[in-house]
């Protein structure tokens, strides 16, 4: 089987990507990050998901993106905006954007892929329901893939590295429909930006809003335990 590194946050999108990678014939190596995020329960979810999916390996890399701050997800002094705060959207990049996060994550995934002799990396970025993040766009992924093939031993020796983004043009409802058809258990996933210590979602942040709307549009019950 072809090997693939799959970025696994423990959220809805990355869990769906893992299922898609496996069903298309990849031997998956899941990669998660403890980067100082306030929604740390997602790492427990990622561990459960990786075990259920019987991945070849699950690695958690520790980073401290909170050291540079600049995001409501890593800086406790910046409040997580609620979904009804439309002024956030109007001003452009939202406060939940983590500076350079996907660039850093993909770089480490690329390094592990080289060690594993894997030529494929899967990431659950989405350009339809995404919240204004510049590193979730197709242009960014295309640019990173070029870098991956210029900056690695594998690329120089002709082993083409490919960054797969199977969800990039899908709506949240389409993602949920695809995952449900593959048997994904979404009750194990965590999407909330400020879930509590046992994984209960706030029900107010942008991520909760998108998730709830996605399940409603897909016609499936939302298994998320919400605080409100």
The tens digit of pLDDT for each residue in 215-225 reads: 999 999 999 99
Those residues of the chain that have pLDDT short of 50 are 86-90
Helix count and strand count (H, E) for the chain: 8, 5
Which residue(s) pair with 117 in the sheet?
none
According to the model, what pLDDT value does residue 90 have?
A: 42
According to the model, what pLDDT value does residue 129 have?
A: 60
Helices (H), the chain: 12-23, 41-53, 86-90, 101-116, 138-150, 153-156, 172-181, 206-218
According to the model, what pLDDT value does residue 157 have?
A: 94
Q: What is the pLDDT of residues 91-117, one digit of tens each?
A: 578 888 999 999 999 999 999 999 999
According to the model, what pLDDT value does residue 161 have?
A: 96
Ordered by start, the domain boundaries in the chain are 2-218
According to the model, what pLDDT value does residue 94 have?
A: 86
Distance CA 107, CA 109 (A): 5
According to the model, what pLDDT value does residue 87 have?
A: 42
In the sheet with 57-62, reading across from the earlier edge strand, the strands are 57-62, 26-34, 2-7, 120-122, 162-164
CB-based burial label for 206 (10 Å; 0-12, 13-18, 19+): buried
What is the reported pTM? 0.93
CATH class of 2-218: alpha beta
């Amino acid at each position: 089987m072809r090997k693939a590194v799959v970025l696994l946050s423990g959220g809805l999108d990355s869990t769906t990507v893992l299922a898609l990678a496996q069903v298309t014939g990849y031997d998956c190596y899941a990669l998660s990050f403890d980067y100082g995020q306030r929604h740390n329960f997602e790492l427990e979810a990622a561990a459960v998901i990786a075990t259920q999916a019987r991945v070849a390996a699950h690695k958690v890399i520790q980073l401290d993106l909170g050291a540079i701050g600049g995001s409501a997800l890593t800086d406790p002094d910046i409040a997580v905006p609620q979904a009804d705060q439309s002024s956030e959207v109007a001003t452009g990049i939202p406060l939940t954007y983590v500076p350079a996060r996907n660039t850093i994550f993909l770089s480490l995934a690329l390094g592990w892929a080289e060690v594993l002799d894997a030529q494929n990396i899967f990431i659950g970025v989405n350009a339809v329901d995404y919240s204004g993040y510049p590193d979730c766009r197709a242009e960014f992924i295309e640019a990173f893939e070029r870098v991956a093939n210029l900056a690695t031993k594998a690329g120089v020796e002709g082993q083409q590295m490919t960054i797969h983004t199977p969800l990039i043009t899908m709506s949240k409802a389409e993602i949920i429909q695809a995952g449900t058809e593959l048997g994904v258990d979404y009750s194990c996933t965590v999407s909330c930006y400020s879930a509590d210590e046992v994984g209960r979602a706030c029900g107010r942040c942008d991520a909760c809003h998108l998730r709830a709307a996605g399940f409603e549009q897909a016609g499936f019950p939302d298994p998320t335990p919400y605080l409100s």
